Amino acid sequence: MKELSELDLPGDRSYTEEHEWALEQGGKVKVGISDYAQDQLGDIVFVEMPEVGEEFEAGDEFASLESVKAVSELYLPVSGIITAVNDALEEEPELLNQEPYENWIVEVKPSDPAEIEDLLSSSTYLDMLRE
């Protein structure tokens, strides 16, 4: 496992206490898992994703990851409608281990774009991990 100093935590994203990241782009929000999450999970072998068109509230469980260690639920950082899922993860779930910030899981059209302001910055997220 990586030391906290070795983690990649890009500053262009927001983070949740449950280790998801959110990146706002053109009125939509891409969601994935942090470098910390993929490191803790180990080799990811399956991703269960929602359907396009499903609607969720912030904090709702929207997907799950199965790794060689455990099954982990994912929680949506913002309320909204799923507009896309990353189909590449169906055949290659390990992409989340290889490039956790290039490989998003879902894209959401937020119902309240201001919710992203309630999420953690990369420095605040790192402080939380240190505790």
Percent of the chain with pLDDT over 70: 100
Question: What rounded mean pLDDT belongs to the chain?
Answer: 97
Q: For 49-90, give the DSSP string.
A: ---TT-EE-TT-EEEEEEESS-EEEEE-SS-EEEEEE-THHH
Which pLDDT tens digit goes with each residue over 61-109? 999 999 999 999 999 999 999 999 999 999 999 999 999 999 999 999 9
Flag whether the pTM goes above 0.95.
yes
pLDDT for the residue numbered 113 = 94
> What is the spatial distance between Cα 53 and Cα 46, in angstroms, rounded to a whole number?
22
CA triple 21-28-40, angle to 5 deg: 15
Enter the CATH code of domain 12-110. 2.40.50.100
From 13, 3, 4, 5, select the one nearest 100 (Cα to Cα): 13
% of residues, the chain, pLDDT over 90: 99
pLDDT one-digit tens code per residue, 109-121: 999 999 999 999 9
Sole residue written with tokens 């490191």 = 39
Q: How confident is the model at residue 59 (pLDDT cuts 50, 70, 90)?
A: very high
Look at residue 84 in the predicted model and tell me its pLDDT.
98
Q: Which two tokens stand for residue 121?
A: 């910055």
Report the candidate in 4, 3, 12 with the shortest Cα–Cα distance to residue 122. 12
Confidence of residue 34 (pLDDT cuts 50, 70, 90): very high
With contact defined as beta carbons under 8 Å apart, do 68 and 60 qualify?
no
Report the distance separating Cα 44 and Cα 93, nearest Å.
6
